Chain A
Amino acid sequence: MAAATSVWRQPSILPGFGIALGITLSALSLIVLVPLVALALKAASAGPADIWAVTTSPRTLAALRLSFLGALFAACINAVFGMILAWVLVRYDFPGRRFIDAAVDLPFALPTAVAGIALAAIYAPNGWVGSLLAPYGIKIAYTPLGVMVALIFVGLPFVVRTVQPVLQEMQADVEEAAALLGAGRWRTIFTVILPPIYPALLTGFVLAFARAVGEYGSVIFIAGNVPMVSEIAPLLIVIRLEQFDYAGAAVVAMLMLLISFGLILFVNLIQARARRRFGDV
């Protein structure tokens, strides 16, 4: 306890801690906490029975499952491909590199509805990609698969942009050292190159995941929105709102919030542990 008080009294030799903390907390409360409390109150106003009914209704569960599992799947895909893409952009120089580098940001910049319409057009059974897959009986648009495609699309830049600077900063001499010490290519990749990247990769993963969980605009165009099959949780919230079921919408929103918060907290804890070990260099 004594240690804790001294930490409070003198947190750092950097000046301005008190005022900075004050501003941060006020801003955080105004922008983040107050709306969340309002949301919780709204959800609570539904009463325990209704909350339970909404929470356990098959439609809610299906929507939550699709949203979170889809986001998880998309974030995993993005982690792998975003990582490779970042690697290619940093380590190799090829014609069109700058173009691809710029294109990575498109999912950021594009209005999500535009992305949704474009994806739906391409993956629809009569679209460019859709028509190629249709003969094999693979349908992407208007199925859960379509949801994944949209979620992967919007999440990709997060992984690339978090991993890229770390790769850039990593000196080639570490790889050369590994090679001269006799390590093969795979050993070098898995023991020398990847470990320093994991924290950044995890951050990118979380960002891509969070974005995918909350994604609405681009998904609804390609998902088909069939209840119990390809209906995502954010859409369910909108539907409830349109039916003037504010409390019901708030309950679904609250569920999403709790799950997301738990997952992100978990990942942050992992990351904090890694940082303590290797330093932030």
Chain B
Amino acid sequence: MSVAVTIESIEKRFDAFAALRGVSLDIQPAELVALLGPSGSGKTTLLRLIAGLEQADQGRVLFGETDMRDLSLRDRRIGFVFQHYALFRTMTVGENVAFGLKSRPRAQRPEPAEIRKRVGDLLELVQLPGLDKRYPSQLSGGQRQRVALARALAIEPRVLLLDEPFGALDAKVRKDLRAWLRDLHRRTGHTTVFVTHDQEEALELADRVAILNDGRIEQVGSADDVYDHPATPFVCEFLGEVNKLPVKVVGSQAFFGDRPVLGGLSQNQGGQAALYVRPQHLRIVDDLPLALPGVVEHLRRNGPLRRAEVAVQGLAKRLDVDLASQVAPAIGERIRLRITHGSLFAAA
């Protein structure tokens, strides 16, 4: 049913502007892949290219073994959910969902009764039973989103492409729909690519995350991979908050000034580097080696965590440190910080 999608060195320009510059990506059958990147990085363009709504200047897209260009739009059987839903507003919800089935050539078209039954099942699946007589203008944003999804699922797609499926919704609804989509994917097993600029969403939902920046894929990997072992400074910064320390690598140790701050490095090239450390990877410790002294200058709340801003001599920007709930330093207190995990990048 679902099919592997292979994207081979795609290039796409709009006039002089290069929107995609050599993008390659292998997507396994039934895999759920997130395309993550800042606004304007080319996510929508890539998704539209996979669907064949846009022509690539270079490279190709394969569905299984077939070049996508050899298939008609109908034969590609792509379920596409648009960023702004693109529901047919003069049709009821039921007619929207039935549209794909009714568009089939007469020989393959199911009986009206069969279509009605399938529409009912699909609306059940997206948890909107009984709304088939409504018009899209009579639905909430989240409901429209799910109708768009039901409409895309109706054609039994081989590939499901979602463009910022939860973009227009509030945080709570996004979270609910996220869990729901994850569950739906587990049950239906469509090869799925979804676009988002919300890193949390991508990390939580996807089997693998592809991070796009400026028309290039910076890294592809599982959530743990990309989060804990970012391949580039961009990925590291884009996936979450991070402190930057200029360090010098000598042997297996990184030095901030003349103080060793991180050991056990396997990095073979020494010299100047930038050490990227997430707030949760800084721990307040008692006097021990590999510790960085600093002064707590500010305390604030960041969601469920408390966060300290720690001034370190020789560093212009204060370090953000996530605090375990039991330790609560006072403002002005002198503390020592241990870096438990960090990513080293050659200094720019």
What are the 7 A-B residue pairs with the smallest beta carbon separation, nearest first?
A279-B137, A195-B90, A181-B100, A182-B74, A173-B86, A183-B103, A182-B103
Does B127 lie at the interface of the complex (its beta carbon under 8 Å from any beta carbon of A)? no
Decide if A173 touches B84 in the complex (CB within 8 Å). yes
- State the Cβ distance, A171 to closest chain B Cβ, in Å: 7
A176 at interface (Cβ–Cβ under 8 A)? yes
CB-defined contacts of B87 to chain A, threshold 8 Å: 174
Interface residues of B in 80-139 (CB under 8 A from A): 80, 82-84, 86-91, 99-100, 103-104, 135, 137-138
Q: Chain B residues near A179 (CB, 8 Å)?
A: 73
Report how far A85 CA is from B99 CA in the complex, Å: 28
B137 & A181 in contact (Cβ 8 Å cutoff): no
Residue of B nearest to A173 (CB): B86
A182 touches B89 (CB 8 A): no
A181 to B156, CA, bound (A): 10
| CB < 8 Å neighbour of A279 from B74, B80, B86, B89 | B89
Shortest distance between the CB of B136 and any CB in chain A (Å): 8
Which one, B51, B79, B104, B137, contacts A278 given CB within 8 A?
B137
A277 within 8 A of B: yes
Q: Is B210 an interface residue (CB 8 A)?
A: no
Q: Are B74 and A174 in contact (CB under 8 A)?
A: no
The answer to whether A214 has its CB under 8 Å from any CB of chain B is no
Are the CB atoms of A174 and B88 closer together than 8 Å? yes
Picked from A173, A182, A195, A281, the residue with its CB within 8 Å of the CB of B100 is: A182
- On whether the beta carbons of A196 and B151 are closer than 8 Å, the reply is no
* A153 CB, nearest partner CB in chain B, Å: 32
B99–A178 CB distance below 8 A: yes
Does B25 sit at the interface, judged by CB under 8 A?
no
CB distance from A269 to the nearest CB of B (A): 19
Determine whether B277 belongs to the interface, using a CB cutoff of 8 Å to chain A.
no
Q: How far is the CA of A184 from the CA of B73 in the complex (A)?
A: 10
Interface membership of chain B positions 148-178, coded 1 if the CB is closer than 8 angstroms to chain A and 0 otherwise: 0001101100000000000000000000000
User: Which residues of B lie under 8 Å from residue A278 when comparing CB positions?
Assistant: 89-90, 135, 137
* Chain A residue contacts of B89, Cβ below 8 A: 196, 278-279, 281
* The one of B51, B84, B86, B155 that contacts A182, using a Cβ cutoff of 8 Å: B155
The B-contacting residues of A in range 195-212, CB under 8 angstroms, are 195-196
A residues less than 8 Å from B79 (CB atoms): 180
Given A179-B73, A181-B100, also A279-B138 (CB < 8 A): yes
Q: Nearest Cβ in chain B — how far from A87, in angstroms?
A: 17
Docked complex Cα distance between A182 and B76 (Å) = 9
Please give me the residue from chain B that is nearest to A277 by CB atom: B135
18 contacts between A and B (CB under 8 A): A173-B84, A174-B86, A174-B87, A174-B88, A176-B86, A177-B151, A178-B103, A180-B73, A181-B99, A181-B103, A191-B91, A191-B99, A195-B90, A195-B91, A277-B135, A278-B89, A278-B135, A279-B138
Size of interface on A: residues with Cβ below 8 Å to B: 21
Residues B135 and A279 in contact, CB atoms below 8 Å apart: yes
- A-facing mask of B42-65, CB < 8 A → 1, else 0? 000000000101000000000000
With both chains docked as a complex, state the minimum distance between the C-beta of B71 and any C-beta of chain A, in angstroms.
Answer: 12
How distant is the Cα of A277 from the Cα of B91 in the complex, in angstroms? 10
CA distance A207 to B80 in the complex (A): 40
The one of A177, A183, A196, A279 in contact with B82, judged by C-beta atoms closer than 8 angstroms, is A177
Query: Is there a chain A Cβ closer than 8 Å to B78's Cβ?
Result: yes
Q: A97 at the A/B interface (Cβ < 8 Å)?
A: no
Task: Verify if A187 is at the interface (C-beta below 8 Å from B).
Answer: yes
Q: How far is the CA of A176 from the CA of B99 in the complex (A)?
A: 13
Alpha-carbon separation in the docked complex, A196 to B154 (Å)? 23
CA distance A176 to B80 in the complex (A): 9
Task: Please measure, in the bound complex, the distance between the C-alpha atom of A196 and the C-alpha atom of B137, giving whole angstroms.
Answer: 13
B72: nearest chain-A partner, CB-CB:
A182
Docked Cα-Cα span, A279 to B136, in Å, equals 9
Asked if A281 and B137 sit within 8 Å, CB to CB, the answer is yes
Cβ of A192 < 8 Å from any Cβ of B? yes
Specify which chain B residues have a CB less than 8 angstroms from the CB of A176 in the assembled complex.
53, 80, 82, 86
Q: Which residues of B contact A174 (CB under 8 A)?
A: 86-88
Min distance, Cβ B225 to any Cβ of chain A, angstroms: 32
Cα–Cα, bound, A192→B91 (Å): 9
Q: Which residue in B90, B138, B155 is a CB contact (below 8 Å) of A196?
A: B90
Closest to B92 in A: A277
Query: Of all chain A residues, which has the CB nearest B90?
Result: A195
> In the bound complex, how far is the Cα of B138 from the Cα of A184, in angstroms?
28
* Shortest CB distance A19–B (Å): 31
Q: How far is the CA of A281 from the CA of B103 in the complex (A)?
A: 26
The one of A192, A277, A281 in contact with B88, judged by C-beta atoms closer than 8 angstroms, is A192
Measured CA separation A273–B33 after assembly (Å)? 45
Taking CB atoms and an 8 Å cut-off, the chain A residues in 253-281 that contact chain B are 277-279, 281
Complex partner residue of A171 from B74, B80, B84, B155, CB under 8 angstroms: B84
